């Protein structure tokens, strides 16, 4: 167990008691801890007994009286102190199974850990959990959690996840709902498998569990060119995307009349494939599903419109924005708005095709460093290249194929600006990197 303390806050209970960086917590009230959730739950009492091990092996037992929920004042090296749980499923649509060989090892790890759902927002299937694990979620009030449902048809879910234990999903969702655990649900929709009538049935089942199920996001299956020997999957096309949007809209309209919001939302990819405009801002209820790709286009458009007045009209500069095929038209439209507001700013938008995974993968977040370099090395890029933050590994300046940001700057001989791709961030970056005339 990695319960080593990495930080002790000033003027905290821990500092007063002589707890130091490098100390390790053995137990709290006689209970070992395996993650930050255990720690928070056990430390909530007004009286706690903590067993500490010093780096030299000396053990201390500290008795602490404090206010309820008063913090000890420490931080750990890792939020998950034992090993994260790997996924036991073999989903027919699993993106990790479609990765090419010889990528960095961490990309091939499939997590399915409810703790990561709570701590980091990861989606879990609940298939590798025992009843004791469900009890722990309820007892510790691990809420909200993000759950990959895909279908509430038990037999179909077993086949889709290739897991004989996957069929009791609705029973588990009901248990969590009855205990007051808030859930966000996701469905990867595969044409001919769990879409159409099956999708409607799943949404209706989840709607029965609202408001515990707060919302549902539907995303289309993604297929790379590295699917040798895998289950044959169909992709959405324009016609099937339009049909899905129109079918789901009937449910959305009904739910809005009953609970005041649509409850189920489709990711932006459906509207891009269908050639249809995305819904208006109020449809997205605060844009809480952006991580699912739900409402990103509308959010970006709104923030560009809102923050365009902040653009400095007395500066000049030239930029290139690299993006994927899905977002290209939206980024191009934003660039036109910015250049119209200040004609002294020149912005080129480059659509990068995904040769690494195949042209069926169109989102910017799955572009690799090499594809970007190859597409742009002969282009005139202006003063700066702007890329989306989601192209990089979280917390690191490295792309999916291990090309670093510094390497790309060297290859393209340009400084690269990393943008969150909100309108506000884009305009701030342009203002900060333009020059006075």
Q: Residue 120 has what pLDDT?
A: 42
One digit per residue, the tens of pLDDT, for the chain of length 437 reads 567 888 888 888 999 999 999 998 888 888 887 766 677 777 877 888 999 999 999 999 999 988 876 888 888 766 544 454 556 678 888 877 777 776 666 554 444 444 443 344 467 788 877 787 788 788 878 778 889 999 999 999 999 998 898 999 999 999 999 999 999 999 999 999 999 999 999 999 999 999 999 999 999 998 888 888 888 899 999 999 999 999 999 999 999 999 999 999 999 999 999 999 999 999 999 999 988 899 999 999 999 999 999 999 888 999 999 999 999 999 999 999 999 999 999 999 999 999 998 998 899 988 999 999 999 999 999 999 999 998 998 778 999 888 999 999 999 999 999 998 688 999 999 999 998 77
Query: How far is the C-alpha of 285 from the C-alpha of 92, rounded, in Å?
Result: 32
Q: Are 251 and 264 in contact (CB under 8 A)?
A: yes
CA distance 46 to 67: 5
Whether the CB-CB separation of 423 and 416 falls below 8 Å is answered with no
DSSP state string for 153-183? -HHHHHHHHT-TTGGGHHHHHHHHHHTT--E
pLDDT of residue 2: 67
Which residue matches tokens 């009890």?
135
- CB-facing half-sphere around the CA of 41: CA atoms within 13 A: 15
Q: Which helix (H) or strand (E) holds 351?
A: strand 345-351
Give the Cα-Cα-Cα angle 22, 25, 29 (nearest 5 degrees). 160
Between β-strands 74-76 and 264-266, what pairing exists: parallel, antiparallel or unpaired?
A: unpaired
Q: How far is CA 373 from CA 302, 380, 385, 413, in A?
A: 31, 13, 11, 11
List, in order, residues 6 or more apart from 287 with CB less than 8 Å away: 295, 298, 299
Chain position carrying tokens 């500066």: 315
Task: Quote the tokens at residue 224.
Answer: 């790379």
CATH of 96-294, one of 3.80.30.10, 1.25.40.10, 3.40.50.450, 3.40.50.300: 3.80.30.10
* CATH number, domain 5-76: 2.30.42.10
Could you say which DSSP state residue 76 is in? E
Q: What is the pLDDT of residue 86?
A: 53
Tokens of 420: 């969150």
- Report the pLDDT value the prediction gives residue 107, as an integer from 0 to 100: 54
Q: What's the confidence (pLDDT) of residue 172?
A: 93
Strand stretches in 29-106, DSSP E: 47-53, 59-65, 74-76
Class of domain 301-436 (CATH, top level): alpha beta
Four-residue CA torsion sign, 222, 227, 230, 234: positive
* Residue extents of the structural domains in the chain: 5-76, 96-294, 301-436
Q: Which pLDDT does position 140 carry in this prediction?
A: 77
pLDDT of residue 223: 87
Q: How far apart are CA 411 and CA 112, in angstroms?
A: 38
């Amino acid at each position: 167990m990695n319960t080593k303390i990495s930080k002790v806050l000033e003027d905290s209970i821990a500092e007063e008691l002589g707890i130091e960086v490098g100390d390790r917590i053995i137990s709290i009230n006689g209970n070992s801890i395996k993650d930050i959730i255990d720690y928070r739950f056990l430390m909530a009492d007004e009286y706690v007994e903590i067993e500490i091990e010093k780096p030299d092996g000396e053990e201390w037992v500290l008795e602490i009286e404090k206010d309820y929920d008063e913090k000890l004042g420490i931080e750990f090296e890792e939020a998950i102190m034992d090993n994260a749980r790997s996924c036991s499923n073999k989903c027919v649509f699993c993106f990790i199974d479609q990765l090419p060989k010889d990528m960095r090892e961490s990309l091939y790890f499939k997590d399915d850990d409810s703790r990561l759902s709570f701590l980091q927002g990861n989606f879990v299937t609940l298939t590798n959990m025992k009843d004791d694990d469900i009890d722990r979620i309820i007892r510790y009030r691990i809420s909200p959690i993000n759950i990959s449902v895909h279908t509430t048809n038990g037999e179909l879910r077993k086949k889709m996840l290739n897991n004989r234990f996957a069929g009791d999903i609705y029973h588990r969702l009901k248990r969590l709902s009855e205990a007051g655990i808030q859930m966000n649900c996701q469905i990867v929709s595969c044409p001919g498998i769990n879409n159409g009538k099956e999708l409607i049935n799943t949404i209706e089942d989840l709607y029965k569990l609202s408001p515990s199920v707060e919302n549902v996001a539907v995303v289309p299956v993604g297929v790379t060119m590295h699917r040798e020997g895998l289950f044959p999957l169909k992709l959405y096309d324009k016609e099937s995307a339009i049909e899905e949007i129109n079918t789901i809209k009937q449910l959305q309209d009904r739910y809005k009349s009953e609970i005041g919001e649509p409850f189920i939302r489709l990711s932006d990819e459906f509207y891009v494939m269908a050639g249809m405009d995305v819904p208006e801002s109020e449809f997205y209820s605060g844009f809480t599903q952006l991580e699912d790709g739900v409402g990103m286009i509308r959010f970006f458009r709104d923030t560009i419109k809102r923050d365009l007045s902040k653009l400095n009209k007395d500066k000049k500069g030239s930029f290139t924005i690299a993006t994927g095929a899905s977002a290209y038209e939206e980024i191009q439209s934003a660039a036109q708005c910015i250049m119209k507001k200040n004609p002294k700013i020149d912005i080129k938008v480059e659509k990068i095709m995904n040769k690494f995974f195949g042209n069926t993968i169109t989102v910017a977040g799955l572009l690799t460093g090499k594809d970007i370099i190859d597409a742009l090395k002969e282009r005139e890029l202006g003063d700066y290249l702007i890329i989306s933050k989601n192209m990089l590994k979280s917390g690191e300046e490295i792309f999916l194929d291990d090309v670093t940001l510094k390497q790309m700057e060297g290859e393209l001989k340009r400084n690269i600006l990393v943008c969150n791709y909100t309108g506000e961030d884009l305009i701030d970056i342009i203002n900060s990197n333009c020059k006075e005339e």
